[in-house]
């Protein structure tokens, strides 16, 4: 074990395996007291795993850590907290219906509540770090930024030596980011260390002292912010490695060219805008036109409006402004059934909650939107249904013991293939919206899903493919549009040498 | 006229008392996220065992103790089913109510015989010295059964506990966001258990009030929906102690009118007056009168990591 002079936390050759997956490997990093350390990386690069190792959620598989001059191996977050490491999680842990002071007292005090006394402490701490926080405000009525500040005060009350913030800017509207960074600076200036986890480099640049970049579990850059070159950092973050997927997909690449664009658009989004219930803009004037036979990839780090767009196009969410059209029909306020009837196939992002009814059989799920075809005198004709399902299962390679087994018993890949089969066999099928269709699937299932999507495009279906896997988009799509903070910030041809430019757009840098 | 008003207030308070006791107890449990539809059953069980204990021992205070014990046992089973086994709280509650009605009726017939109206030793009325002779307030407020004064004190205690102690904070947190509470180091299951036991304790008091303090006997199904009215009062009261008590008093007053109006020579069909408190409860629950949000996790079991 070694610890460099002046460093508060040292990671030495740290690694973490989950089963056969190597989530982190050989990470060595020094975090100094009084500094802001930025930790950069794409989704799945291992940032959260690293934080969870530091915070005692997981135990490292290899390597060791030194914190504050002693070996660091916290057995739980509670121990980590006690010994001086606090973490603000991406998902807040406050009770919305209680006040700030009540939330911060929860689990911290015993007996009769002294709201005034505790509230004064909250005010003091907030003031110390240059912001204000009303202890008597009800949390549910606060803005996201204020809630985050309440979480930060909750951490600071424990007087930590190291404060870890996991994707703190992901939830914030642009106006509140500056204030957060000021707080981070002040926390560092008070002699503590701050680790800022993010995938949005541009926002963090002005506050970070050092920046480390993680890619597929390895540390690929670790430098002082003053000397760092932004372009090189972005390249380090998104720099690509060849994966088996690309080879498999490249084989069929030629066929896509065959389709030509008939008249009219399959799917048109015109100025779609969505405000959430707190009034924050989740989707901002989104305009995109997709021709029949075209596959448009929508890239972007998750949480930049993709979910909202998917919900709107599925007919499950009414946009605040704007319209969308499938084959020229305005379906903005028509609802999910009308979208299906107009030829809009939807593969939802949330496979379990939205795409299927896991307690029902495979056959029932595969024909969920066409059950009336198998109904006679109000009764479901199970024999016919199962026979049709059996045929479709073969066609789409859905592997299950039979059409009557419960959907929940299928693997993720087979579930997704079944959902895809259902949507792709719509008649007519004009447009397909597939949101994160390969999430959690293994390589062979990913390949099968994309083969089906491309076959549909060849038949003249316009496809909107929403994914945070840039490599997959580049391999499958014709062009790639980038969503950032709910806005379409740019569009590029889907070519490998555009990867850096698209990555820059995704991380919030203007092209 | 003034005398009549004083009597009306006194009987309102007397009739609202079991509702107030049961509702304030139920409030604690619902704020922790557990709905005890079995409140009616708890009260009926308590009323029966209270009467039995008082009759067998000759001591009404021992009767009250028996009532509370019986009700707490029922609530412990409810807590085990709802918190540990994560059973559907509505189904469990309805099951309990049917069971309690059947069991108390059966035991009553075995022990007391078919149509007995055996008087049981009841609690004394406590005329508060110096106050009970006051011209108006004396009649209205200070000639009540001992249990009324104790009950009122308990309700104030519950209010203080919910709003001004760390336990109250924990109760509210596990009822709204058990996951957040868990992260803050609050033992969710233990907190819910305690809350349900408090409901049992208060329902026991309420049942004892009906059989021992008020009517001085046990009759089949003698709670006659009081538990349901108390549940309605909690909803009407928006899960707030003060408003819930006000709702109970309103239901009590509606019941008191049944006796008061004919005495004043005003003739309204008795059936309508009998219906009045339930009608009010229905309107209240339907949200006709300012609906408020229930605790976010009411009836939702908690399991870490799910």
> How confident is the model over A63-90, as pLDDT tens digits?
999 999 999 999 888 889 889 999 998 7
Is the Cβ of B157 closer than 8 Å to some Cβ of chain A? no
| A112 chain-B contacts, CB cut-off 8 A | 164-166
Q: Looking at the predicted structure, is the pLDDT value of residue A253 above 50?
A: no
Query: How much is the CA Rg of chain A, to the nearest whole Å?
Result: 25
What percentage of chain B's residues is helix, strand, coil (to nearest 5)?
70, 0, 25
**Topology agreement, domain A7-238 and domain A244-353+430-506:** yes
pLDDT of residue B114: 64
Interface of B with A in 45-104 (CB under 8 A): none
| B295 chain-A contacts, CB cut-off 8 A | 97
> Is pTM beyond 0.90 here?
no
Q: Which residue of A has its CA nearest to B164?
A: A113
- Within 8 A by CB and 6+ apart from B241, the residues are B24, B27, B155, B158, B159, B162, B163
Between B172, B180, B186, which is nearest A94 by CB? B180
User: Using the beta-carbon criterion (under 8 Å), do B169 and A94 form an inter-chain contact?
Assistant: no
Task: Quote the percentage of chain A above a pLDDT of 70.
Answer: 91
Q: Looking at the predicted structure, is the pLDDT value of residue A242 above 50?
A: no
Interface of A with B in 73-132 (CB under 8 A): 78, 93-98, 102, 105-113
Tokens 């994707």, residue located: A167
Between A93, A97, A111, which is nearest B166 by CB? A111
Among A117-131, A462-476, B36-50, B184-198, name the one with the lowest average pLDDT.
A462-476
**Taking Cα atoms as reference points, which of A507, A426, A422, A412 lies closest to residue A461?**
A426
| B240 chain-A contacts, CB cut-off 8 A | none
Compute the average pLDDT of residues A390-396.
Answer: 87
Is the Cβ of B243 closer than 8 Å to some Cβ of chain A? no
Please report, for chain A, the start and end positions of each structural domain, with discontinuous segments joined by +.
Answer: 7-238, 244-353+430-506
- Local confidence band at B262 (pLDDT 50, 70, 90 cut-offs): confident
**Number of A:B CB contacts under 8 A?**
54
**Does A53 sit behind a cis peptide bond, omega within 30 degrees of 0 on the bond before it?**
no
The CATH class that applies to domain A7-238 reads alpha beta
| A106 chain-B contacts, CB cut-off 8 A | 169-170, 173, 180-181, 184, 186
User: Using the beta-carbon criterion (under 8 Å), do B180 and A93 form an inter-chain contact?
Assistant: yes
- Local confidence band at A438 (pLDDT 50, 70, 90 cut-offs): confident
Q: How far is B28 from chain A (nearest CA, A)?
A: 16
User: Using the beta-carbon criterion (under 8 Å), do A113 and B164 form an inter-chain contact?
Assistant: yes
Q: Which residue of A has its CA nearest to B180?
A: A93
Among A138-147, B160-169, B290-299, name the one with the lowest average pLDDT.
B290-299
| A114 chain-B contacts, CB cut-off 8 A | none
Is the Cβ of A455 closer than 8 Å to some Cβ of chain B? no
Q: Looking at the predicted structure, is the pLDDT value of residue B107 above 60?
A: yes
Is the Cβ of B235 closer than 8 Å to some Cβ of chain A? no
Half-sphere exposure at residue A284, Cβ-oriented, CA atoms within 13 angstroms: 14
| B183 chain-A contacts, CB cut-off 8 A | 93
> How confident is the model over A268-314, as pLDDT tens digits?
999 999 987 777 788 999 999 999 999 999 988 777 888 889 989 98
Determine the straight-line distance between the first and last CA of chain A, rounded to whole angstroms.
44
CA distances from B283 to A209, B251, B278 (A): 63, 12, 9
Is the Cβ of B170 closer than 8 Å to some Cβ of chain A? yes
User: Using the beta-carbon criterion (under 8 Å), do B180 and A109 form an inter-chain contact?
Assistant: no
pLDDT of residue A510: 60
Predicted ipTM? 0.85
Neighbours of A460 (CB within 10 A): 17
Buried b or exposed e, range B73-99, using 16+ CB within 10 angstroms: ebbeebbebbbeeebebeebbebbbee
Is the Cβ of B181 closer than 8 Å to some Cβ of chain A? yes
Which DSSP helix (H) or strand (E) runs through A30?
strand A21-32
* CA–CA gap between residue B267 and residue A502 (Å, rounded): 83
CATH fold of A244-353+430-506: Rossmann fold (3.40.50)
Q: Which residue of B has its CA nearest to A108?
A: B184
């Amino acid at each position: 074990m070694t610890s460099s002079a002046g460093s508060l936390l040292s990671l030495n050759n740290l690694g973490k395996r989950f089963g056969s997956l190597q989530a982190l490997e050989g990470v060595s990093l020094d975090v100094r007291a009084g500094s802001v350390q930025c930790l950069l990386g794409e989704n799945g690069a291992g940032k959260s795993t690293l934080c969870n190792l530091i915070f005692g959620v997981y135990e490292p598989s290899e390597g060791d850590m030194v914190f504050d001059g002693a070996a660091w191996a916290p057995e739980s977050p509670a121990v980590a907290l006690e010994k001086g490491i606090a973490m603000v999680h991406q998902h807040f842990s406050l009770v919305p219906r209680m006040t700030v002071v009540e939330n911060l007292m929860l689990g911290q005090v015993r007996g009769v509540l002294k709201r005034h006394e505790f509230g004064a402490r909250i005010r003091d701490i907030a003031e110390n770090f240059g912001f204000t926080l009303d202890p008597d405000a009800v949390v549910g009525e606060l803005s996201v930024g204020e809630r985050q500040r309440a979480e930060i005060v909750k951490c600071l009350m424990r007087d930590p030596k190291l404060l870890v913030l996991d994707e703190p800017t992901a939830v914030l509207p642009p106006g509140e980011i500056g204030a957060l960074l000021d707080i981070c600076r002040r926390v560092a200036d008070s002699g503590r260390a701050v680790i800022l986890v993010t995938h949005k480099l541009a926002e963090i640049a002005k506050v970070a002292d050092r920046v480390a970049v993680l890619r597929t579990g390895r540390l690929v850059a670790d430098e002082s912010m003053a000397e760092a070159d932004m372009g090189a950092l972005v390249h380090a973050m998104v720099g690509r490695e060849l994966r088996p997927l690309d080879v498999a997909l490249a084989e069929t690449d030629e066929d896509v060219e065959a389709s030509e664009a008939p008249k009219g658009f399959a799917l048109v989004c015109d100025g779609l805008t969505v405000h959430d219930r707190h009034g924050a803009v989740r989707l901002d004037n989104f305009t995109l036109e997709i021709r029949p036979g075209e596959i448009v990839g929508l890239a972007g780090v998750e949480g930049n409006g993709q979910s909202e767009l998917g919900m709107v196009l599925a007919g499950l969410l009414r946009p605040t402004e704007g319209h969308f059209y499938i084959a020229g029909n305005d379906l903005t306020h028509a609802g999910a059934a009308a979208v299906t009837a107009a030829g809009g196939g939807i593969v939802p992002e949330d496979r379990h909650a939205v795409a299927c009814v896991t307690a029902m059989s495979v056959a029932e799920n595969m024909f969920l939107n066409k059950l009336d075809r198998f109904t006679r005198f109000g009764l479901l004709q199970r024999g016919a249904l199962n026979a049709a399902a059996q045929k479709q299962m073969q066609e789409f390679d859905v592997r299950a013991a039979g059409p009557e087994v419960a959907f929940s018993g299928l693997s993720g890949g087979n579930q997704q293939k079944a959902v895809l089969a259902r949507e792709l066999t719509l008649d007519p099928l004009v447009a397909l919206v597939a949101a994160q269709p390969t999430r959690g699937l293994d390589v062979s299932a990913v390949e099968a899903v994309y083969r089906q999507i491309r076959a549909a495009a060849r038949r003249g279906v316009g496809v909107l493919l929403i994914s945070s896997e840039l490599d997959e988009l580049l391999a499958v799509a014709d062009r790639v549009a980038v969503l950032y903070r709910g806005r379409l910030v740019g569009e590029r041809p889907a070519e490998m040498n555009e990867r850096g430019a698209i990555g820059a757009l995704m991380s919030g840098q203007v092209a | 006229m003034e005398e009549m008003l004083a009597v009306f207030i006194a009987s309102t308070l007397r009739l609202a008392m079991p509702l107030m006791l049961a509702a304030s107890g139920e409030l604690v449990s619902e704020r922790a996220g557990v709905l005890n539809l079995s409140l009616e059953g708890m009260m009926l069980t308590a009323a029966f065992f209270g009467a039995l204990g008082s009759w067998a021992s000759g001591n009404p205070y021992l009767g009250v103790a028996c009532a509370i014990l019986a009700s707490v046992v029922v609530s412990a089973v409810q807590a085990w089913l709802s918190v540990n086994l994560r059973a559907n709280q509505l189904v469990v509650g309805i099951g309990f109510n049917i069971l309690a009605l059947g069991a108390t009726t059966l035991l009553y017939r075995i022990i007391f015989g078919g149509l007995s109206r055996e008087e049981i030793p009841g609690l004394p009325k406590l005329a508060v010295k110096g106050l009970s002779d006051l011209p108006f307030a004396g009649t209205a407020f200070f000639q009540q059964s001992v249990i009324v004064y104790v009950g009122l004190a308990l309700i104030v205690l519950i209010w203080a506990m919910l709003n001004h102690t760390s336990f109250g904070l924990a109760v509210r947190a596990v009822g709204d966001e058990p996951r957040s509470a868990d992260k803050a180091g609050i033992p969710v299951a233990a907190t819910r258990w305690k809350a349900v036991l408090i409901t049992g304790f208060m329902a026991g008091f309420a049942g004892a009030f009906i059989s021992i303090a008020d009517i001085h006997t046990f009759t089949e199904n003698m709670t006659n929906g009081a538990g349901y009215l108390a549940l309605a009062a909690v909803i009407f009261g928006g899960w707030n102690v003060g408003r819930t008590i006000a709702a109970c008093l309103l239901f009590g007053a509606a019941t008191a009118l049944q006796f008061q109006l004919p005495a004043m020579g005003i003739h309204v069909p008795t059936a309508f007056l009998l219906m009045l408190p339930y009608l009010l409860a229905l309107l209240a629950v339907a949200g006709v009168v300012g609906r408020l949000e229930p605790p976010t996790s009411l009836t939702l079991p908690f399991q870490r990591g799910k």
